[in-house]
Amino acid sequence: MPDKHYDLIVIGGGPAGYVGAIRAAQLGLKVCCIERSNLGGVCLNWGCIPTKALLANAELYEKVGHEADTWGLKFTDLKVDWSKVIARSRGTADKLSKGIAFLFKKNKIDHVVGHAKIISGRKGAAPCKVDVHECKVKDTLTHAPAEIGAKRETITATNVLIATGSVARELPFAKFDGDRIMGAREAMNTATQPKSLIVIGAGAIGMEFAYFYNSYGTKVTVVEMMPRILPVEDDDVSAALTKIYTKAGMSLMTSTTTTAIEKTASGVKVTVAPFVNGKADESKKQVLEAEKCLLAIGVKGRYDGLFDSSLGLEIVKDHIKTDYKPGEQGDPPLTYATNVPGLYAVGDVIGPPWLAHVASEEAVVCVERIAAAAQPGKHHEPYPIHYGVIPGCTYCHPQVASVGYTERALIEQGKVKGKDYAVGSYNLQAHGKAIAANTNVGLVKILRGLPRGEVLGAHILSDQATELIGELALARRLEATTEEINVTIHAHPTMYEAIHEASLASEGKLIHG
């Protein structure tokens, strides 16, 4: 690769990196994207996409394996080919990764396979400099960076966008070993189905894998330090899902912390204890045993080897610091600039919310602001991201989706039910389309602001919840009221009629409940 100068170098080819690179190219910038592994990042290759393929498999298996009699179906010898289940997931990721390579060619984006190291930021008229090192071994299942080769090239750019994503957190006393102590990568690529599994962490990743393995018959135990599973979700949704999964055979241990993990000849021993007043109650500890253990305790920014310490790039709580602060709505306008001139960062590497759809939008806003600053008057100023209108989705079954405030958050802010907000809740037990599809478990809950009636928050536990949340995210973004939702005719029979019912319920007008 010859030395070149670009308007923008994007480091990382995930949901933030490749989207930002394409948008920058559309705006007329000369762009290079450096990625040391497969295009698509963790999301496409080891996260969002392949896990959804696995979960789709699990839902199908539930229907034909667990619910066959309900559907009037009979099987005499239903078997699971585990290797094909995993292979289908991997094939889905490979196909989409190749699609991104095509989009790069279409948009005339230079794609470089290698490890990037930033050696300088923009100093006056001098450009940013980035060393590109050859990757001798691509990062596949390991959580360590790719092995760096001896070959090196230096390229320059007016600006550099860091979009290197995140990596799973380990426990101080338990490191990923690629076998018995797994992260999400290993959990979606196991050679054989484990007979038993302990999942540490009941967030979205933990509960998705818990559902997947439990559906196929693995004995699953979930350990969560907080008082409920899916701790960031509304309490009513967490409680309802707890009942569903307990009935399905999962063991859910909440308000419980993990104090030790020991590998044994046959699997793992996990020591847990009640989590009381911010610490473990060692007097009541117990030891759990299983074939494998999955750590799903969150992520941290991934910037290993990305820059020399002399660059002075500011890091806060394992993430690169920019002008973004969690919880802000993006006003005043955010540029996602770091403390080093010419360097910007977006996506998981700058902190929560660690969501692919947020990373992509941050990248678009960032490069549009870069283009607008470079060519005043030629490009419009982008709309800032409203961080209070970001849908969160968990793809277990039934699915969980939400946007805006939980009732717990409103109460913590001093809001009073009946005075500052009203609750509209609709149970799917008698919902026509859900009954027809044998998916009539769950609920829709809408929090309506008083006195105006705006949607403060919405929470769904249902089949297709991650699709249904779109209407409520748009309603919140446009500051629509429940009255406006009520007078919007919803087709019958559909799942999204449940949104209409919950909205009606928030005004005391519920029809089917």
Cα 148 from Cα 115, distance rounded (Å): 7
Catalytic residue among 5, 431, 492, 500: 492
Q: Does an H or E element contain 154, and which? A: strand 147-162
Q: Residues 460, 495: contact at Cβ < 8 Å?
A: no
Q: Residues 121, 340: contact at Cβ < 8 Å?
A: yes
Cα 112 from Cα 132, distance rounded (Å): 8
Query: End-to-end distance of the chain based on CA atoms, in angstroms?
Result: 66
User: DSSP string covering 72-128, please?
Assistant: T---SS----HHHHHHHHHHHHHHHHHHHHHHHHHTT-EEEESEEEEEE--BTTBPE
- Report the C-alpha dihedral over residues 340, 346, 348, 353, rounded to 10 degrees: 120
For residue 478, what are the contacts with CB-CB under 8 A and spacing of at least 6? none
- Give just the sign of the alpha carbon dihedral 477, 480, 482, 487: negative
Q: Residues 510, 501: contact at Cβ < 8 Å?
A: yes
Q: Residues 32, 6: contact at Cβ < 8 Å?
A: yes
* CB-facing half-sphere around the CA of 168: CA atoms within 13 A: 31
Cα 51 from Cα 15, distance rounded (Å): 16
Q: Does an H or E element contain 404, and which? A: strand 399-404
Place of tokens 């105006």: 452
- Report the C-alpha dihedral over residues 492, 494, 499, 502, rounded to 10 degrees: 70
Cα 144 from Cα 135, distance rounded (Å): 13
Q: Is 490 a catalytic residue?
A: no
Active centre residues (catalytic): 492
